[in-house]
Structure formats: C-alpha cells, structure tokens
Amino acid sequence: MEQAEKRAAVISHETLFKPKIIAFLCNWCSYAGADLAGTSRVQYSPAVHSVRISCSSRVDPTFVIKALLMGADGVLIAGCHPGECHYKSGNLLTRRRFMMLKTLLETIGIEPERLRLEWISASEANKFARVIDDFVEQIKKLGPNLLGGGMNDSV
C-alpha cells in the first residue's frame, strides 16, 4: 500500500487519530509558561510531551529529525522572545536552525508544517495553551506521520 493510501485510510478514522507532539521548551521562559498554565489550570491538549531544555538553542537538529522518525507527529520548539534570551543570543541561533530544518525536512520527505517555532515567555500561560491547541489542530489536518513508528502511547 502506498503512503498516500495509508494516510487516507488513517485519516478516514480521524476521530481516532491522537497526535503525538514533542515540545522542546526553554527552561527560563517557555517551560515556565507551561508550568504557569498548569498551575493556573488553563486547559490545553494533552497530546504534548514536554522536554525541558536549558535554552532553545540547545535543540540539535538531529533531535527533531529523530523525534519525527521515531513516530512523533509534530515537534514544537519554544523559547524566549528575541532579545530576552537568558543566554544573550541563543534564540537567534534557534531561528536560523529552524529555517534550515524546515528546508531539510521538505528535502527528506517530511512535511515542514510538522515543525513549529514559538516565542513564549514565562507569563504567557494562555499563549502557551493557544499554541498547543492550534498546533494539535494543524497536525490533525496533516494526519499521522507515516515515516516514523517507534513511539508508543506511553511516551
């Protein structure tokens, strides 16, 4: 069965499709925003698995590709707003890597829309929830990532 046929079969059961999203969150801003969303009881999709990192610039491109090849349906990288990075210019490096990664994903046959970059500060709990919900809906429209297969529901 070709990949398009597989995707059509899975999309026909869209109500059963629950995206698996890996979110790399900067410790100082985005992770704190996610924490604030949790403590404030802001509702957002449970489809996200957070990975706390010291800075968004610490996300190696191979982490993103490996997550997608292991079955993640989408990858979110979230960091401090430009000019507010605790490590001076880490998020500027992240922006450059993100643009390169989008091109690379397209080259290797993965929809670049499966990768998203957002700037979320520690006080933006509602923005964090909106970004998560919006990204989950975007991934649902794309359908499951058929290139990967290593992730299970317990991750």
115-150 core/surface letters (b: 16 or more CB in 10 A; e: else): bbbbbbbbebbebbbbbbeebbeebbebbbbeebee
Q: What percent of the chain has pLDDT over 70?
A: 86
Q: What is the mean pLDDT of residues 24-37?
A: 97
Q: What is the CATH number of domain 19-142?
A: 3.40.50
Q: 31: alpha, beta or left, given left = phi > 0 and alpha = psi -120 to 50?
A: alpha
> Is the Cα torsion angle 94, 45, 42, 38 positive or negative in sign?
negative
What pTM, to 2 d.p., does this model score? 0.87
Task: Parse the chain into domains and list their residue ranges.
Answer: 19-142
Higher pLDDT: 22 or 4? It is: 22
Q: Do 94 and 60 contact (CB within 8 A), yes or no?
A: no
pLDDT tens across 98-130, in order?
Answer: 999 999 999 999 999 999 999 999 999 999 999
